[in-house]
Amino acid sequence: MPAELLGAHTPIKNGLGGAIREGKRIGCTAVQVFTKSPQLWKAKEISAEMVADFKAAQAETGITEVVVHDSYLINMASAVEEGREKSILGLTDELNRCAQYGIRYCNSHMGAHVGQGVEEGIRLLVEGAKRVLANSDPSVILLMETTAGSGSSLGATFEELKAVLDGLHGDARVGVCVDTCHIFAAGYDLRTPETYAETWAKFESVIGFDRLKAVHCNDSLKPFGSRKDRHAQLSEGEIGETPFRLMVNDERFRHIPILLETPIENDGHERDLAKLKSYIA
């Protein structure tokens, strides 16, 4: 059976309700949003009206699967204590904002070790995530996003994410979001049926599909293994259409939100969504 939850990151200029309606307009059955500006720490309080409009939009559109993406400022592995504290409080707030809207998933880049080394970085992520989970609403699941490994960002290998999961004793409130551009840039090939199968087999053996809660569906402007995070329109980048064609027909992804974060110029998301749908056999 084909994938049922195809969507995109949609803008919140008309609130989260507006983002859901925009998702419906372009053909989404799942949506990713920010709940605040991702470039700022501060956030507008969520009012009862904002929540009511979001729920009304969900009822109107039938879009129930929503993922929140956290702020770009968060680094729970910062070398500076003040930065870590701000990040832990910031991510806790992101999860609690999800709970206010009744949203289940909060996706996070978690952090970069900034020269302290992978081991220390992972230790800090585990300590930070423990506090985030302890101080946030238990209805919300924290998703760790795979990274391209640019700079010292953690989560560029499945093993690093597994180490964080292990540090959290496999807490059921932690899942993984795989970004296809990021894993490709980090050295996991997907371009042929063989490499697609190998990469997902590695994912299954290291992390397990039961932890996969979302996919960011992006082609890559930069070459394989470049460790550079630049998204491209589907089938127009270095990855090409093969893995996206396979994914939407892969039973393992049937109930996983597959979310575009490709360039939005010239109706980019609409065009990419149409491509994804056309790949369904």
Number of residues that bind Zn ion (CB under 5 A): 4
Residue 216 Cβ vs Zn ion, minimum distance, rounded to whole Å: 3
Q: Please, are residues 185 and 225 in contact by the beta-carbon 8 Å criterion?
A: yes
Whichever of 41 and 51 has its CB closer to Zn ion, that residue is: 41
Nearer to Zn ion, 94 or 261 (CB): 261
Nearest alpha-carbon partner for 220 in 200, 244, 203: 244
Closest separation between CB of residue 82 and Zn ion, Å? 24
- Cβ 1 to Zn ion, closest distance in Å? 25
Between 3 and 57, name the residue whose CB sits nearer to Zn ion: 3
Give the DSSP letter string of 237-279.
SSS-SHHHHHHHT-GGGTTS-EEE-S--GGGHHHHHHHHHHHH
Among 53, 70, 94, 179, binds Zn ion (CB under 5 A): 179
Cβ at position 232, least distance to Zn ion in Å:
13
**231 binds Zn ion, rule: CB under 5 A:** no
Q: Does 22 bind Zn ion (CB under 5 A)?
A: no
Stretch that binds Zn ion, among 27-35, 51-59, 129-137, 211-219 (CB under 5 A): 211-219
Using the rule CB under 5 A, which residue among 216, 222, 269, 275 binds Zn ion?
216
List of long-range contacts for 273-279, beta carbons under 8 Å, 24+ apart: 273/6, 273/7, 273/8, 273/26, 273/27, 273/28, 274/27, 275/234, 275/235, 275/241, 275/244, 276/6, 276/217, 276/234, 276/244, 276/248, 277/6, 277/27, 277/248, 279/241, 279/244, 279/245, 279/248, 279/249
Cα 143–chain centre separation: 7
Is the Cβ of residue 57 or residue 260 nearer to Zn ion in the bound state? 260
Mark the segment that binds Zn ion (CB under 5 A) among 42-50, 51-59, 183-191, 216-224: 216-224
In the complex with Zn ion, the residue whose CB is nearer, 8 or 122, is 8
C-alpha distance across the termini of the chain, in Å: 9
Report the nearest approach of Zn ion to the CB of residue 149 (Å). 13
- By CB under 5 A, residue 213 contacts Zn ion: no
CB nearer to Zn ion: pick between 104 and 216: 216
DSSP state letter for 29: S
Q: Write out the two tokens for 34.
A: 């920010």
The conformational region for residue 155 under phi > 0 = left, psi -120 to 50 = alpha, else beta, is left
Q: Which is nearer to Zn ion, 28 or 50 (CB)?
A: 28
Q: How far is the CB of 98 from Zn ion (least distance, A)?
A: 15
Question: Which positions touch Zn ion (CB under 5 A)?
Answer: 145, 179, 216, 261
